[in-house]
Amino acid sequence: MAGLGSVETDLSGKRALVTGAASGIGLAIARHLGDLGAAVVLSDLAGERLDSAVAGIPGAEGQAADLSRRSDVHDLVARSGAVDILVNNAGLQHVSPIEDFDEAKFDLLQAVMLAAPFMLIRGLLPGMYERGWGRVINISSVHGLVASPYKSAYVAAKHGVIGITKAIALEAAARSRDVTVHAICPSYVRTPLVEGQVADQAKAHGIPEEEVVEKVLLTQNAVKRLIEPGDVARAVEFLCSEMAWTMTGSALTMDAGWLAH
C-alpha cells in the first residue's frame, strides 16, 4: 500500500492575525504562516520589536495594540480586515504566592490572555462564517490542563482559554463545518517569557537560577528538553490544514510527556 506522504499546507489567499507576534512563539507562527502563503498581520505592543518582526516577513503588516485595553482590542478587530486564521498567542506571566499576588497583575493577565481572545473571536468569527472557512487557534498551555504553584493568574487564564475554545467550537460546528476552533497546550517553550521567569522562580523556590530549568521548569516533563517555538508553529500549520478536518474543540497537548504521569 502506498504511503500517505507529506503535504505542505498551502495558505495562499488566506489572511492570518497573530497576537503577541513580535517575539517567541508568536513570531515563529507568523513567519511559518507567511512561508505557507498566508498574508500575515502581526500584532503586539508598539515599538522596535514589532517593527523588526514585520520587516522580516515579506508582505506582512503590523498592527500595534495593547490587549489589556478593550478599546485597543476593538480597534484591532476593525483594522485587521477579513481574517481567516486567528492565532490568540499574546501572553505574560507573574509568579507569586497567592497571599502576595498583586490584584492588578491578576486583572492584567486575565485581560490579555482571556478577555482579549474572547473579544477578538467575537469580532472576527462572523466573517469566517460568511466566507465558509476559518481557523481560530488559541495558544493555551499545559497549565490550561494542570496547575503549578505560584501561578494562580496564569493557570486561571489558560484554563479559561480552553473553556472558551470548547464552547465556541460547538457554536462554530453548527454554522460551518470548515470553521474550527482549537487550543494548543505546550509545556515550557524556549521564549523570552520563559527565560524571564527564571529569576522569579529561583526566588519563589529558594534555589539558584541555574537550577530552575531542570528542577522547576522541566521537572514534570518525561522528555527533559524545552520545546522550540517552531514546533508550535508546525502544530498551527496542521490545524490549518485540510488533514485536521476531523478535529474541533481540541486541546492539543505538546507537553513532552508531562500529563502521562
**Joined grid coordinates for residue 91:** 501572553
Residues labelled as active-site residues: 154
Residue 16 pLDDT: 98
Q: Which residue type sits at 95? A: V
Residue 129 pLDDT: 98
Residue 1 pLDDT: 36
The answer to whether the CB of 139 falls within 8 A of the CB of 154 is: no
Residue 223 pLDDT: 87
Query: For 70-127, what is each residue's pLDDT tens digit?
Result: 999 999 999 999 999 999 999 999 989 999 999 999 999 999 999 999 999 999 999 9
Residue 7 pLDDT: 54
**Closest CA relative to residue 140, chosen from 252, 19, 227:** 252
Average pLDDT over residues 185-195: 84
Residue 5 pLDDT: 44
Q: Angle 199-205-209 (CA atoms, 0-180°, nearest 5)?
A: 35
Query: For 133-143, what is each residue's pLDDT tens digit?
Result: 999 999 999 99
pTM of the model: 0.91
CB atoms within 10 A of CB 56: 13
- Please, where are the H alpha helices in the chain? 24-35, 48-55, 70-79, 103-110, 116-131, 152-175, 192-195, 197-205, 212, 229-240
Convert 199-211 to b/e letters by CB count within 10 Å (16 or more is b).
ebbbebeeeeeee
| Domains of the chain as residue ranges with CATH | 15-189+227-253 (3.40.50.720)
Query: For 124-167, what is each residue's pLDDT tens digit?
Result: 999 999 999 999 999 999 999 999 999 999 999 999 999 999 99
CB atoms within 10 A of CB 194: 20
| Weakest-pLDDT range from 90-99, 119-128, 185-194, 212-221 | 212-221
